[in-house]
Amino acid sequence: MATDTYGTVPDTDAVRAALATVNDPEIHRPITDLGMVKSVEVADGGAVRVEVYLTVSGCPLRETITREVTAAVSKVPGVTGVEVTLDVMSDEQRRELAASLRGGQAEREVPFAKPGSLTRVYAVASGKGGVGKSSVTVNLAAAMAADGLKVGVVDADIYGHSVPRMLGVDGRPTQVENMIMPPSANGVRVISIGMFTPGNSPVVWRGPMLHRALQQFLADVYWGDLDVLLLDLPPGTGDIAISVAQLVPNAEILVVTTPQQAAAEVAERAGSIAVQTHQKIVGVIENMSGMPCPHCDEVVDVFGTGGGQRVADGLTQVTGTNVPVLGSIPIDVRLREGGDEGKPVVLTDPESPAGAALRAIAGKLGGRQRGLAGMSLGITPRNKF
């Protein structure tokens, strides 16, 4: 490495090594691995010029990429200045990138349905609306991500989509060829039909279109290597629940209910679909299980008691397997406020009654190890003689 009046001249390899620490904010992989570094030039005075390819011309995160490349290269010894210029990938380059991200897999293949998938897929279901299913989904996802897991959420409630707002996602997906890069917030990658509709426009679709949308969310979105994928299902046992069973048969059902008898009865029906679809019910979550009095701390059972246990007992009898109650979440104003503000309570107030209950449930689900059922072990039988 040469020196001059400016001191140590940075080595090109050192600059490229620094660039390898910069991840694409949507794909979450180093820009060097993605073929996004067009060129690197180092002048005698230590000034560095880096050209970076954007995946699309209207990339919403171009300023983020510029800022992070500048910061990384500036740390290289001898660098006196950094200039970042942006170019756009050609159609051929985008096709090569898409093929690389798929790992040679065919298009429209759901990676989570493959026998070798190590991603835990939880379909969060409820019998009726208004039981807080989306609040539970969002907070479980945020809690797992805070624990270091790679987490994704599919807002599969096409008609009543609400996950982006509740999780604080304000970005839009970016399309690279036929692949969709999902935005993220609080460490969670999210896709929702609300990201593709103008304003607060309603979605007026029938069954086949719902199935197509869910298939695109699962197959066309680049999720990367997830530890956990949560699907926020619409209430009931309609088209989406059936499509999930077809597209991701290994998905495990997580039933959310309130203590109210009427809600518990409907939730039990929603969970019983697992018998027909041959899916496993991982457990029951009782939401709105009671409201601590702000003056005396006495718990007021606004919606009654025991609904979660009744659902669990009923599903245990119907399925013939043990279905546990994973936890009970008390009524907490902070949980509602967090959903409205896009700040999950498990992050803003983790020690609150609701936050602590949700984190405990997330710990149980996130810590579960995937079994060997359905996986190919690569073992070939051999005759002894």
DSSP string, 89-151: --HHHHHHHHHHHHTTPPTT--GGGSTT---EEEEEEESSTTS-HHHHHHHHHHHHHHTT--E
Strand ranges inside 245-337, DSSP E = 252-257, 281-287, 291-292, 299-300, 325-329
Q: Residue 249's CB: how many other CB atoms inside 10 A?
A: 15
Closest CA to 223 of 255, 182, 171: 182
Closest CA to 125 of 227, 277, 346, 342: 277
Contact between 229 and 121 (Cβ < 8 Å): yes
pLDDT of residue 207: 65
In three-state secondary structure terms, 306 is coil
Q: pLDDT of the chain along its 385 residues, tens only?
A: 444 444 577 888 999 999 999 998 878 889 898 888 999 999 888 899 999 998 876 676 788 899 999 999 999 998 999 999 998 888 788 778 877 776 655 556 788 888 888 999 999 988 778 888 999 999 999 999 999 999 999 998 888 888 999 999 988 888 877 788 899 999 999 999 888 877 666 666 666 788 888 888 898 898 988 999 999 998 877 788 888 888 898 999 999 988 887 777 777 777 777 888 888 999 999 998 878 777 777 777 777 678 889 889 888 888 888 999 999 999 988 999 999 999 999 999 999 999 999 999 999 998 876 544 444 444 444 544 3
Closest CA to 278 of 321, 240, 310: 321
Contact between 332 and 302 (Cβ < 8 Å): no
- pTM here is 0.73
* 120/223 Cα distance (integer angstroms): 13
What type of residue is 69?
Answer: V
Binding site: what residues are annotated?
127-134
Domains and CATH numbers, the chain: 11-89 (3.30.300.130), 111-366 (3.40.50.300)
Tokens of 78: 């001898």
Residue 88, Cα to own-chain centre: how many angstroms? 28
* 276/253 Cα distance (integer angstroms): 13
pLDDT of residue 234: 86
Binding site for ATP: what residues are annotated?
127-134
* 158/233 Cα distance (integer angstroms): 8
| Contact partners, residue 71, CB within 8 Å, separation at least 6 | none
* 23/112 Cα distance (integer angstroms): 24
* 70/273 Cα distance (integer angstroms): 53
Torsion of CA 268, 270, 272, 274, to 10 degrees: -140
